[in-house]
Structure 1
Amino acid sequence: MLAAARDLFAAQGYEAATVRQIAQRAGVSVGSVFTTFASKGQILSEVMQERLDALYAELDRVIPHLRGSTVDRLRSIFAIHFAFEIRHVQLFLAHIAAAYDWTLPAGALPFGRNLRLQGLIQDCLAQGISKGDVDAGANLQGGVDLLMAAYAWTYRLAAWEQASAEAMTAVMDQQIGMIAAGLRPR
Structure 2
Amino acid sequence: MKADADNGSERTPARRSQKEATRQRVLAAARELFDTHGYQGTTIREIARHAGVAVGSVFTTFASKGEILSEVMQSRLDRLYGELDRVMPHLRGSTADRLRTMFAIHFNFEAPNVRLFLSHIAAAYDWTLPPTARPYGRTPRLQEIILECLDKGVHQGDVRPEARLQDIVDLLMSAYAWTYRLVVTEGADAKRLTEVMDRQIGLIAEGFQPR
TM-score (norm 2): 0.84
Identical aligned residues as a percent? 66
Q: Which runs of 5+ in 2 are unaligned?
A: 1-25
Partner in structure 2 of residue 136 of structure 1: 161
Distance 2:36 2:128 in 1: 25
- Whether contact under 8 Å (2:118, 2:180) holds in the other structure is yes
Q: CA offsets, 1:65-97, max 9 Å, x none?
A: 211110110000000001111211111111111
Matched, 1:77 2:99: no
Question: What root-mean-square deviation, in Å, do the aligned CA atoms of Structure 1 and Structure 2 show?
Answer: 1.3
Letter in 1 for 2:115: Q
Structure holding more helix per residue: 2
Distance 1:182 1:13 in 2: 35
Partner in structure 2 of residue 154 of structure 1: 179
Matched, 1:25 2:70: no
SS of equivalent to 1:14: helix
Distance 2:176 2:82 in 1: 20
Partner in structure 2 of residue 4 of structure 1: 29
Bigger radius of gyration, 1 or 2? 2
Give the deviation of 1:155 after TM superposition: 0.5
Give the deviation of 1:35 after TM superposition: 1.6
Partner in structure 1 of residue 118 of structure 2: 93
- Whether contact under 8 Å (2:39, 2:123) holds in the other structure is no
Partner in structure 2 of residue 58 of structure 1: 83
Give the deviation of 1:24 after TM superposition: 2.9
Give the deviation of 1:11 after TM superposition: 4.0
Give the deviation of 1:51 after TM superposition: 1.1
Matched, 1:181 2:206: yes
SS of equivalent to 1:15: helix
Partner in structure 2 of residue 106 of structure 1: 131
Distance 1:111 1:103 in 2: 15
Q: Which runs of 5+ in 1 are unaligned?
A: none
Matched, 1:125 2:150: yes
Distance 1:120 1:153 in 2: 19
Give the deviation of 1:15 after TM superposition: 3.3
Partner in structure 2 of residue 44 of structure 1: 69
Q: Which residues in structure 2 correspond to 1:164-175 (within 5 Å)?
A: 164-175=189-200
TM-score (norm 1): 0.95
Distance 1:178 1:102 in 2: 31
**How many residue pairs end up in the alignment?**
186
